[in-house]
Structure 1
Amino acid sequence: MTSSPADITAIVVAYDSAEVLPDCLAALAGEGVGALVVDNASGDASAAIAERWGARVLRNGANEGYGRANNRGARAADTPFILIVNPDLEIGKGAVAALLAAAEAYPDAAAFAPRLVEPSGRVFLQPRSLLSPDHLNRARDIVLPEGDACLPFLSGACLLLRRDVFLALGGFDPAIFLFYEDDDLCRRLREAGHALVHVDGAEARHGRGRSSAPSAARRFTARWHLAWSEYHVARKHGMRLPGPMRIVENGAKTIGYGMILNQDKMMAHAGSVAGALAARAGRSALARQGLDKAEPRP
């Protein structure tokens, strides 16, 4: 049976995303896709804006992070497909039809991603990853596929997934608050025997970093989780852990930027140090965020 946009629930995780949500939701509505917005306790009008645009809204009492919030949305959806969409992303015209056509053409595949076009016009592609075998990480130049292509990793910024497969794998790793959730999911999908397809005929415009307003404190938190998650996924998949010299280097940069009063970069590198130290000490990302409710880890 041919699938239609009615067979898709778009899951949009919002956190202080009021500025970008209208364009995101308008693009989804233009493609005939219903949206489910999971609001991570935003301090702005994100939830209200989502409701005004006709989206179903689930409100989290605290910021649950990207993966955990998407997991909640996937469980609440009742369609065969879910479309993970960052709030700063606008799905292009005809992209949903192209993604669904790929899902029918490649029944062994479980994940499908469009070409992601950044504001500069650059096409973002993710052929390399911390979780990729070394032989797939050697190419210096990124070669864009000509036509549909199986790739080892796809970006979680926009990802069509077969909902039953996603839930059977446990969704995104709930131990991760932020970063490497999509890499980890892609690796687990491949290990379970599912292909991942980059769909050349589908396009989406990605704002990259416009999901919420920047601040020095958020830079610290983001870099904390980036460093912590790198240790977490390395341990999980039996890979070599980052060396202690990286902590030393980030510590030196923290001091250096502090001396020239560059608060943003100082806080970013301080976050990297703190996240790495926490990971090495066995602290969890969820404990840092004060999240007591634990989901089963996939």
Structure 2
Amino acid sequence: MPGLVAVVVAHDSAGVLPACLAALAREHVPALVVDNASRDGSADLAASLGARVLRLPRNEGYGRANNAGIWAAGRAEYALIVNPDVELQPGAADALLAAAEAYPDAGLFAPRIVEPDGRFFYQPRSLLAPYLTNPRGRLHPPEGDACAPFLSGACLMVRRDLFLSLGGFDPEIFLFYEDDDLCRRIADAGKALVHVHGAVAFHGRGASSAPERGRVRRSRWHQAWSRSYVSRKYGLPDPTAAMLAKNGVKALLALLALRRSGIERYGGSVAGAWAARRGRSALAQEGLAAEPALRPEAGAW
């Protein structure tokens, strides 16, 4: 499809990549898979399925890996950011491009995302929304194309030059809230965020990476840290005290009950909030350099 390239960030995603890439191929959208140092052969699998593959030597996190992929997308006018557990449905790419033509003042487009249980996912508010704030979070899913306060990073279409001019996803964020932050900066640039109802994508929530030991704790660490980071970035109240109190009690109760899942979940949140409060960065936590992975190094292909 002229002018559109899909960027798919993979990390141990071999179980879902075939369906994702097959759906893109049916839509005639070329795919660029950015492999975040997978250990399950995701990169080789993607290449065997006809995708262009960018291999990163380290897991750079979701936003930073997308930055590298969108930079590498060449002269494409639009980039379609797609989680590996997302499957575009017939006509979705055409509907997104038609919306971009119909709404030239918009900066970001997202399809109607359908969850595994058939529900239509729609987040009615964002912590960072500068307009359409909906503070009570009342859920009134749109019945057609609509401006939205937030579009999920699971599947987004953005004009490539706009994305790069804004610096892409914030490279300080390893995981979580990178989509809220991008939505905020695009809205601050005077561009609307548009939910495109006629474009449909199935999302196998939580299936983009294979299960691994410590994943829940790591995920909750970054969720807590990133919320604190974006709150500070936009001058919002520091949430760390509340997160420490709420999750600390739950972690203690889980420990007393010897409930490992709760210890990992709430202990991870406590650790992330405490790290943010102490000024530790997410990049330091992951052993990454501050220099963002925007331009791929020679020989990475």
TM over 0.5: yes
Distance in 1 (alpha carbons) for counterparts of 2:175 and 2:258: 28
Match of 2:261 among 264, 271, 280: 264
Distance in 2 (alpha carbons) for counterparts of 1:57 and 1:256: 45
Q: Tell me the CA shift for residue 161 of structure 1.
A: 0.5
The 5 A counterparts of 1:33-72 are 33-72=29-68
Q: Tell me the CA shift for residue 260 of structure 1.
A: 2.5
Aligned to 2:182: 185
Residues 185-205 of structure 1, C-alpha deviations (whole Å, 9 max, x = no match): 000001001111100110000
Q: Tell me the CA shift for residue 67 of structure 1.
A: 0.2
Aligned to 1:152: 149
Distance in 1 (alpha carbons) for counterparts of 2:17 and 2:219: 21
Asked whether 1:11 is paired with 2:7, we answer yes
Asked whether 1:119 is paired with 2:98, we answer no
Aligned partners of 1:113 and 1:199 also within 8 Å = yes
Residues 145-204 of structure 1, C-alpha deviations (whole Å, 9 max, x = no match): 122111121111100100000000000000000000000000000100111110011000
Q: Secondary structure at the match of 1:121?
A: coil
Aligned partners of 2:124 and 2:141 also within 8 Å = no
Aligned to 2:236: 239
Aligned to 1:198: 195
Asked whether 1:136 is paired with 2:138, we answer no
Distance in 1 (alpha carbons) for counterparts of 2:193 and 2:241: 34
Residues 15-47 of structure 1, C-alpha deviations (whole Å, 9 max, x = no match): 111100100000000000000000000111111
Distance in 1 (alpha carbons) for counterparts of 2:271 and 2:165: 34
Distance in 2 (alpha carbons) for counterparts of 1:50 and 1:93: 21
**Farther off after superposition, 151-160 or 244-253:** 244-253
Aligned to 1:85: 82
**Farther off after superposition, 155-164 or 240-249:** 240-249
Aligned partners of 1:216 and 1:267 also within 8 Å = no
Residues 208-253 of structure 1, C-alpha deviations (whole Å, 9 max, x = no match): 1001123450101100000000110001011111152431331222
Q: Structure 1 113/50 Cα, relative in aligned 2: closer, same or farther at 3 Å?
A: same
Q: Tell me the CA shift for residue 136 of structure 1.
A: 2.0
**Farther off after superposition, 51-60 or 255-264:** 255-264
Aligned to 1:221: 218
Residues 112-145 of structure 1, C-alpha deviations (whole Å, 9 max, x = no match): 1000000111100122111125972334541121
Q: Give the % identical residues.
A: 60
Aligned to 2:98: 101
Aligned partners of 2:67 and 2:293 also within 8 Å = no
**Farther off after superposition, 254-263 or 271-280:** 254-263
Q: Secondary structure at the match of 2:280?
A: coil
Any gaps of 5 or more consecutive residues in structure 2?
Answer: 295-301
Residues 57-84 of structure 1, C-alpha deviations (whole Å, 9 max, x = no match): 1111110000000000010002000000
Distance in 2 (alpha carbons) for counterparts of 1:68 and 1:279: 20
Aligned partners of 1:216 and 1:268 also within 8 Å = no
Q: Structure 1 169/287 Cα, relative in aligned 2: closer, same or farther at 3 Å?
A: same
Asked whether 1:20 is paired with 2:16, we answer yes
Distance in 2 (alpha carbons) for counterparts of 1:126 and 1:252: 28
Any gaps of 5 or more consecutive residues in structure 1?
Answer: none
Tell me the number of residue pairs that the alignment of Structure 1 and Structure 2 aligns: 293
Q: Structure 1 140/199 Cα, relative in aligned 2: closer, same or farther at 3 Å?
A: same
Q: Secondary structure at the match of 1:187?
A: helix
Distance in 1 (alpha carbons) for counterparts of 2:60 and 2:17: 19
